[in-house]
Every structure is written in C-alpha cells, then in structure tokens.
C-alpha cells in the first residue's frame, strides 16, 4: 500500500515537472510564462527568508514584548522588502528611477504613535535579514546564509533574554497627593501607588510638578513577570 502511494506520488511529481517544462517554453507577449529554475530559486529563497524572519519576530520579539500590531508589520515588511530586492536586483534602473524609489520610501512614515526605539531596532533587523537573503549571490551557499541569519537571531536573543536579563516596563501617571512627592516620603509614595494600582513597583521617578493643581507626573517602573495578574 505504501509502495503504491509512493509510486503514485512520484508519477504526479513527474507529471507536474513535465507541465512546468512545457510551460517554460511558452511566451506571453514576448515574456516567458515560467522559468522553472528561476522560479524554484525564488520559492526556496522566499521560504528561507520567511523562516528566519518568523523565527526572529515570533520566537524572540513577541515573547518579550507581546505586541501583535508590530508582529504583523515586521512579517509583512520582511516579505515585501525581500520580494522587492529579489525582483529588482537584476533590473537596470536609471538614476532618476532609483532616486524616485528611495524618495517614496523616504516619505512613507507611520501616522500613529511614535515607534519606540526597541521596536525600530527589530524593524531594522527584519529588513536587514530580508535584504541579506534577497541580495546574496549564487556564490553564497545556503549553509553560509543560514549561519549569517542564525548569528543575527542568536545575538538578538542573547541581548534580549540573557545579557539584558529582564525587561523593565514603565508607565507615567498623574499623581495628586503632592505631599508624598517629597524625598522623605519616598517609601510612602511607592506603597500608595502599589496599593492603588495593584502594580509591584520597583522604582519611581518624579517628573513635572504642578503646585497650582497639586499634581505631579510620576513615572513608575516594574517588571511584567512580577505582577500578580498579567
């Protein structure tokens, strides 16, 4: 039974390859419908890049930050940057077109909240991996390319999980008990904030103080994994 299934699968693959070979010679308005060798290379290289981008974003970034919006952006940008670089690498572009292309990317910006520096770093890493995997020449083997990708991901993981140890979160709150802002009431301030917010605070920083309204901007720092309920 298994041998029969294998024979049937091999026959189906052979027929598929024959169809591809037949389509390779066809042209549509002077353009080949398919180049089996180039298409196979694109498919393998795309899946190769997608594997490492997902490994970086889903395996390293998301467990530490838990930001699904950036998760979508990183994977999407990784795919489009890879395809853009891969398809245009052999295109003979004049100077005007090239400058116009970079100008388009230069004026594109996120019209939402400012992106934190850490998220921007992960974005740069995702784009860098995609460009690396797209522009690597045929002289670069997949073993060498995989090693380069793993070095970047391992280094990022080491910085995120080992060297930096724990990620400290922060929030800015408007605090109205102005008498507790004094240096001598530091411990009472922490206890009051912990009781009212339910957050295990590690340290605080007092920012702007408004004596007219009796309020102060207080930045509280805490570890996400130390909280009673995430």
pLDDT digits (tens, 9 = 90+) for 27-86: 555 556 666 777 788 888 889 888 999 888 888 888 777 777 787 878 888 888 888 778
User: Token pair of 76, please?
Assistant: 């999407």
Cβ-Cβ contacts under 8 Å for 156 (sequence gap 6 or more):
56, 60, 122, 125
Residue with the larger pLDDT of the pair 3 and 138: 138
Q: Are 50 and 90 in a shared domain? A: yes
Poorest-confidence range of 41-55, 98-112, 182-196, 214-228? 98-112
Q: Are 100 and 41 in a shared domain? A: yes
What are φ and ψ of residue 166, in 5° steps?
-125, 145
| pLDDT above 60: residue 93 | no
Q: pLDDT at position 92, please?
A: 59
Asked which of 163, 187, 213 is the last residue of a domain, the reply is 163
Give DSSP secondary structure letters for 105-153: HHH----SSPPPHHHHHHHHHHHHHHHHHHH--TTS-HHHHHHHHHHHH
What are φ and ψ of residue 96, in 5° steps?
-65, -45
User: Token pair of 159, please?
Assistant: 């910085």
What are φ and ψ of residue 168, in 5° steps?
-95, 120
What is the rounded average pLDDT of the residues 139-153? 86
Q: Are 54 and 73 in a shared domain? A: yes
Q: Are 179 and 142 in a shared domain? A: no
Q: pLDDT at position 6, please?
A: 45
pLDDT band at 91 (very low <50, low <70, confident <90, very high): low
Asked which of 133, 163, 193 is the last residue of a domain, the reply is 163
Q: Are 127 and 150 in a shared domain? A: yes
Whether 220 and 227 have beta carbons less than 8 Å apart is answered as no
Is the pTM higher than 0.85? The answer reads no
Mean pLDDT of the chain: 75
What is the rounded average pLDDT of the residues 134-160? 84
| Full residue range of the structural domain in which residue 208 is found | 168-226
What distance in Å separates the CA atoms of residue 224 and residue 203, rounded to the nearest whole number? 14
User: Token pair of 122, please?
Assistant: 């992960």
Number of domains in the chain: 2
What are φ and ψ of residue 92, in 5° steps?
-85, 95
What is the rounded average pLDDT of the residues 212-223? 87
Q: Are 158 and 172 in a shared domain? A: no
Q: pLDDT at position 28, please?
A: 54
What distance in Å separates the CA atoms of residue 111 and residue 88, rounded to the nearest whole number? 28
Residue with the larger pLDDT of the pair 88 and 141: 141
Q: Are 153 and 91 in a shared domain? A: yes
Q: Are 12 and 117 in a shared domain? A: yes
Q: Are 42 and 102 in a shared domain? A: yes
Q: Are 93 and 17 in a shared domain? A: yes
| pLDDT above 60: residue 111 | no
Q: Are 178 and 129 in a shared domain? A: no
Cβ-Cβ contacts under 8 Å for 204 (sequence gap 6 or more):
186, 189, 190, 193, 218, 219, 220, 221
Q: Are 17 and 123 in a shared domain? A: yes
Residue with the larger pLDDT of the pair 97 and 66: 66
Residue closest to 65 by CA, chosen among 111, 109, 121, 113: 121
Asked which of 115, 144, 163 is the last residue of a domain, the reply is 163
27 lies in some domain? no
Q: pLDDT at position 185, please?
A: 87
Q: pLDDT at position 3, please?
A: 46
């Amino acid at each position: 039974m298994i041998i029969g299934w294998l024979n049937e699968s091999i026959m189906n693959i052979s027929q598929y390859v024959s169809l591809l070979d037949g389509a390779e010679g066809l042209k549509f308005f002077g353009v080949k419908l398919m180049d089996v060798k180039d298409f196979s290379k694109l498919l393998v290289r795309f899946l190769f890049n997608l594997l490492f981008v997902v490994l970086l974003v889903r395996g390293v970034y998301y467990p530490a930050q838990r930001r699904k919006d950036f998760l979508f952006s990183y994977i999407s940008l990784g795919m489009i940057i890879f395809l853009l670089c891969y398809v245009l690498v052999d295109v003979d572009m004049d100077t005007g077109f090239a400058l116009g292309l970079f100008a388009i990317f230069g004026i594109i910006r996120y019209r939402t909240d400012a992106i934190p520096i850490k998220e921007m770093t992960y974005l740069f890493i995702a784009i860098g991996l995609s460009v690396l995997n797209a522009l690597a020449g045929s002289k670069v083997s997949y073993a060498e390319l995989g090693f380069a990708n793993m070095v970047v991901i391992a280094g990022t993981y080491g910085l995120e999980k080992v060297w930096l140890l724990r990620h400290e979160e922060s929030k800015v709150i408007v605090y109205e008990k102005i008498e507790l802002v004094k240096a001598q009431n530091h411990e009472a301030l922490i206890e009051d904030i912990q009781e009212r917010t339910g957050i295990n605070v590690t340290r605080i920083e007092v920012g702007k103080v408004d004596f007219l309204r009796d309020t102060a901007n207080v930045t509280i720092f805490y570890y996400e994994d130390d909280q009673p309920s995430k």
